A and B are shown apart, each in its own frame.
Chain A
Amino acid sequence: MKLRIETSSIDTLTIRLFDTIDEANMPWLRAAASKLREQFGDHLIDLVPSYTTLMLHYDMQEMTDSQACERVQRALAHLETAPPPQPGRLHEVPVWYHPSVGPDLLRLARQTGLTPEQVAIRHCSREYQVFTLGFAPGFAYMGLVEEALAIPRLATPRRSVPTGSVGIAERQTAIYPLVSPGGWNLLGRTPVALFDRTREGYSLLQPGDRVRFIRVEQPEFILLGGDDTPMEPLL
């Protein structure tokens, strides 16, 4: 970990901690985020953690750029020597893996020489880290997916991906929180609501959380409130 602070705009700083994507970074980024929130208090407008960085938007009517930098230094000074930070919350997310709601499942199976069932089992066999949220409210970039299941994004994104769709792109996996265009390879669907404006914290998944997918069959998926409307055949 090597702390670097850069000016990104009139009132934002980019705080760099790492240079590569690594699941082991995430507890440190979580710890850094919480120390920065504590240090800046009400003068923090937004804090956006990503794979290796945190972008900090501060209230420029309350402090100068150099005061903001000093506060960052102070907040993160003892981060490395502190006891190793706690991992994020673990979520178990049920997924119905099926070609009717995961139109790329069969292709991925063909490409890997596995059965669709084996693809599902292997997608469920790891605990994933939430690296960052972006693209849409509650959309969590998670990883790392095992090398064998890694496939590139679709050359042409779908115009409409249903809510709850679970996909893979390269070595990352994600769930679409609301209907949107999307280019990830879809394997199945979860009945769990990812983004709910009436819930405390709004988003089920927060940066630094951990996720384990649990394979369920259609009846349980429906029992859990899932919508099993099939997708259009692959474009």
Chain B
Amino acid sequence: MSGLLVEQSLGLAQLQDAGRFGVRHLGVTQGGALDWVAMYWANWLLGNALTCSVIEIPLGGLVLLCEQDSTLALAGADLGATLDEQPLQTWNSFAVRKGQRLVFDTPRAGVRAYLAAPGGFDGPATLGSQSTVVREALGGLDGQGSTLRRGDKMLFTGTDVLRREIPHTSLPDYSSPARLSVIPGAQYSAFSALSLYQAFNHAWRIDQRADRMGIRLVGPELRYTGAPMISEGIPGGAIQVPPDGQPIVLLNDRQTIGGYPRLGALTPSAMSRLAQLATGETARLVATDPEAARREHLELLHGWHSPR
């Protein structure tokens, strides 16, 4: 049994996996790693199943003490991570020794880092998942929705490690302009023509009102001209537009139903990219052909399962 002792935490870092499925009709949110691509890579680096539980670390402020020798992997944001004050490369696996200290400082590129351990972290699956949802008191180390707290022990039992390397061409570039693919749909045609033009031809600024439920975008005021809606199920990545005209992209911890009109939904890759955009950064929305988006997504998924 190996483990990491939490020595410091901002209370944001939390256990996540692919999310909770088959229970959304009961009002239970989906949950799961916001940057699922980074979670997949972190697990892939160790040869884990791609959806093994990982620690999602937004913004840094986390210190972990290694209690055993083992191998870990890091993907996603560059939070200036160090191991005993030596810089760690993101998108790599690395050996740790008992007594070494792993520190996540502050974002340098991206927002959320993902730390994987052999076989994933221990923790009870509640309603089929370890994903932490604070407001629903589900998942996490205690199964009650708690985030990482000082004194927590993050245990893992896996020992087999592959230590792979990610091909350079596969690495996301957080410094490139963010172009978020959108599959138009839902109430798309009930927005004014001007609003549809603006939605896809203006830069949108990431607002500080951003959490695991959704990220608000600031830009031109979009106008919905349709009838008031009756609440309906909302898919991940949905772009909903409340009466103030400023869209909110709904993420993994979104409410299961909602009554605001929607322009469509981001593709899974776009959701992963959005999860790494910081307050004040900008993004463009790009209308995408659904079939092309599906092909691209299936190819991406296929890539992890075939030799690289």
Contact = CB atoms under 8 A, between A and B. Distances in A.
A136 B235 contact: no
A207 to B, nearest CB: 6
B25 to A, nearest CB: 5
A139 B27 contact: yes
A190 interface: no
Given A45-B22, A133-B26, A138-B26, A9 B231 contact: no
Interface in B87-146: 126-127, 135-138
B265 A9 contact: yes
A39 to B, nearest CB: 16
A107 to B, nearest CB: 26
B235 A57 contact: yes
B136 A136 contact: yes
Interface in A1-58: 6-12, 14, 20-21, 33, 45-55, 57
B interface bracket (residues with beta carbon within 8 Å of A): 35 or more
A61 B268 CA distance: 14
A203 B262 CA distance: 29
Nearest to B133: A137
B28 A8 contact: no
B27 A203 contact: yes
A132 B230 CA distance: 11
Nearest to B262: A8
B278 interface: no
Given A7-B290, A133-B256, A137-B26, A51 B235 contact: no
A202 B26 contact: yes
B237 interface: yes
A7 B185 CA distance: 6
A134 B254 CA distance: 10
B230 A55 contact: no
Interface stretch (B43-51, B218-226, B292-300): B292-300
B235 A9 contact: yes
B304 interface: no
A10 B233 contact: no
A127 interface: no
A10 B257 contact: no
B286 to A, nearest CB: 14
B235 A202 contact: no
Contacts of B294: 10, 60, 64-65
B130 to A, nearest CB: 14
A132 B136 contact: no
Given A10-B265, A134-B27, A46 B237 contact: no
Contacts of B126: 197
B183 A9 contact: yes
Contacts of B265: 8-10, 12
B193 interface: no
B165 to A, nearest CB: 26
A178 interface: yes
B66 to A, nearest CB: 33
Given A51-B231, A60-B294, A203-B26, A10 B267 contact: yes
B232 A52 contact: yes
A159 to B, nearest CB: 13
A13 to B, nearest CB: 9
B166 to A, nearest CB: 22
Contact of B231 (A64, A134, A138): A134
Given A7-B290, A134-B231, A136-B27, 5 more contacts: A12-B233, A134-B256, A135-B27, A135-B255, A180-B135
Interface of B: 21-28, 30, 126-127, 135-138, 183, 185-186, 230-238, 255-258, 262, 264-268, 290-291, 293-294, 297-298, 301
9 contacts: A8-B265, A10-B290, A20-B230, A53-B232, A55-B233, A132-B257, A133-B26, A141-B231, A203-B26
> Sorted from nearest, which 10 A-B pairs have the closest CB atoms?
A55-B233, A48-B233, A9-B265, A9-B235, A133-B27, A134-B257, A12-B235, A46-B24, A203-B26, A53-B232
